[in-house]
Chain A
Amino acid sequence: GAGVSQSPSNKVTEKGKDVELRCDPISGHTALYWYRQSLGQGLEFLIYFQGNSAPDKSGLPSDRFSAERTGGSVSTLTIQRTQQEDSAVYLCASTTSPRGNTGELFFGEGSRLTVL
Chain B
Amino acid sequence: GENVEQHPSTLSVQEGDSAVIKCTYSDSASNYFPWYKQELGKRPQLIIDIRSNVGEKKDQRIAVTLNKTAKHFSLHITETQPEDSAVYFCAATRGGSQGNLIFGKGTKLSVKP
B97 touches A100 (CB 8 A): yes
- In the bound assembly, the distance between CA atoms of A63 and B28 in angstroms comes to 30
B43 touches A45 (CB 8 A): no
A52 smallest CB distance to B (angstroms): 16
Q: Which of A102, A109, A110 meets B99, CB within 8 Å?
A: A102
- List chain B positions with a Cβ less than 8 A from chain A: 1, 32, 34, 36, 43-46, 49, 51, 89, 93-95, 97-106
Contact sample, A vs B, 17 pairs, CB 8 Å cutoff? A41-B106, A42-B89, A43-B103, A45-B100, A45-B102, A48-B99, A48-B101, A55-B100, A58-B1, A91-B43, A100-B98, A101-B32, A102-B93, A102-B98, A104-B49, A105-B36, A108-B43
B32 touches A102 (CB 8 A): yes
Q: Which of A35, A42, A100, A102 meets B105, CB within 8 Å?
A: A42
In the complex, chain B residues whose CB is within 8 Å of the CB of A107:
43-45
A102 touches B97 (CB 8 A): yes
In the complex, chain A residues whose CB is within 8 Å of the CB of B98:
31, 50, 97, 100-102
For window 9-26 of A, CB contacts with B under 8 Å fall at none
User: Which residue on chain A has the smallest CB distance to residue B31?
Assistant: A101
- In the bound assembly, the distance between CA atoms of A101 and B34 in angstroms comes to 13
A45 touches B99 (CB 8 A): no
CB of A68 within 8 Å of the partner chain: no
